[in-house]
Amino acid sequence: MAEIIDMPKLSDTMTVGTLVKWNAKEGDALKFGDIVCEVETDKATMEVQHTAADGVLLKRYAPDGAQLPVGQPIYAVGKAGEPAPEIGAAPSAAAPTPSEPTKTAFGEQSAIAMAAPIPESNPVPCIPQGGAVASLTADGRIKASPLAKKIAEEKGVDLSAVSGTGPGGRIVKSDVLSAEGKPAAKPSVAATAALAPVFSGAGIQEDKVLPVSTMRAVIARRLLESKTTVPHFYLEIEVDAKPLADLRESLNSKLAELSPEQGGIKFTVNDLILRATAEALRRVPVVNNAWNGDTIKQNGSVQLAFGVAIEDGLVTPVIRDAQAKSLRQIATEAKELIGKARKKKLTPNEMSGSTFTVTNLGMFGISGFFGIINMPNAAILSVGATFKKPVVNERNEIVVGHRMSIGLSVDHRVVDGADGAKFLQALKEILETPTLMLV
């Protein structure tokens, strides 16, 4: 007898999921553990495994992009040729709507949801560097299935040089496998001409109404809630970044070329800032607290979140107990979390429960800014780029200085101005004497 499989509850707070992609089609044989589809929840994009009896996928009850509440039928499985049960009209694709604040084992969800796939209407042809014709979505991204992207990354295939044979020019698994090992063709004269700018008066992109992804809806709700309910105040300090740069250069010159087995590692500026932040919070722990309605939660450990920009938004993975970890441990963990974030493999637990957040836009040349507090944190640190500028040294000489601007957005219900200033002073001392973070 045919069995109907419902939308599973993929996280402790999930009420609705967006069916991102089907991995199996009607008529396919299903065995226990097969990946049937991918579903975007309020926290991540997750794979749905077949956990019922082996059989044939008789019917899919929802199209790609459909929003389905937990418990809604998504597919039927049974014997080949067996009729599928009817459940009424199938759900249609719809834009997500913001949900109520979520809760986790660590408290209110403080991380932003994983990125949703970009709508793939109106593909735009382009001539990539290799001369093959690929297809882009309306916002300029290459159209490729998640499996094709994964295989391309593993095999080192440049998707911009692959022609898609899937619907609407979408790059699929077979396209990547066919392109593996083939040298990129030189662009033809026609391709080169197609790349030349055309001043036709056309707009920069198509006029259209875009659906709001689950991640973007969560970002919108969380930031609006933070900005309208948390009384922010802002502090800024300028740091001499030369000692930090010198330490990083010294460490990397000795360690970056070694193998991991020999202790090799390459530190980023952000690694050093994360370690310094954890140490500064040890010195001024009140900044690590959180507003909790009619009480203030005093957090004994530093659960340090940091922003990672991904497709269609931002996620904030968390380094647990950062105050107890060395620079090497923080750098290693941060690298692993960044890699998982960009592959959409972060778990909900890895994105929740933070007590303090660091966001860094220095790599984009931003001189300084103030982030919106990542609730329920009491503060967020905003790090700008290092710039050369004239400064007056201790001998009253004008010299070239390397300066970094650091901003702190603070919840005034929890932290007063003096405590915020003490935290920035401690951070400045550590960054300007960076060997302090190594002991």
Q: Are 357 and 316 a contacting pair, CB within 8 Å?
A: yes
Residues linked to residue 296 through DSSP beta bridges, in sequence order: 291
Q: Are 261 and 348 a contacting pair, CB within 8 Å?
A: no
Place of tokens 């299903």: 30
Residues linked to residue 126 through DSSP beta bridges, in sequence order: 134
Beta carbons within 8 Å of 234's beta carbon, 6+ residues apart: 370, 407, 408, 409, 410
CA angle 296/426/277 to nearest 5° reads 70
| 412 flagged as catalytic | yes
CA 26 to each of CA 56, 59, 258, 378: distance values in angstroms, whole numbers, following the listed order? 8, 6, 51, 50
- The secondary structure of residue 72, as a DSSP letter, is -
Place of tokens 């979390």: 337
Tell me which of 50, 232, 402, 412 is the catalytic residue.
Answer: 412
| Cβ-based burial of 405 (10 A; exposed 0-12, middle 13-18, buried ≥19) | buried
**Six token digits for residue 122:** 């109106």
Report the greatest alpha carbon distance in the chain. Answer: 89
Q: Rounded to an integer, what distance in angstroms lies between the CA atom of residue 386 and that of residue 240? A: 9
Q: Rounded to an integer, what distance in angstroms lies between the CA atom of residue 386 and that of residue 400? A: 12
Which of 344, 351, 352, 349 has its CA nearest to residue 47?
344
What φ, ψ does residue 297 adopt, rounded to 5°?
-85, 120
Answer left, alpha or beta for residue 289, where phi above 0 means left and psi between -120 and 50 means alpha: beta
Q: Are 154 and 343 a contacting pair, CB within 8 Å?
A: no
Q: Rounded to an integer, what distance in angstroms lies between the CA atom of residue 300 and that of residue 323? A: 10
Helix, strand or coil for residue 299?
Answer: coil
| Cβ-based burial of 83 (10 A; exposed 0-12, middle 13-18, buried ≥19) | exposed
Catalytic positions, written as ranges: 412
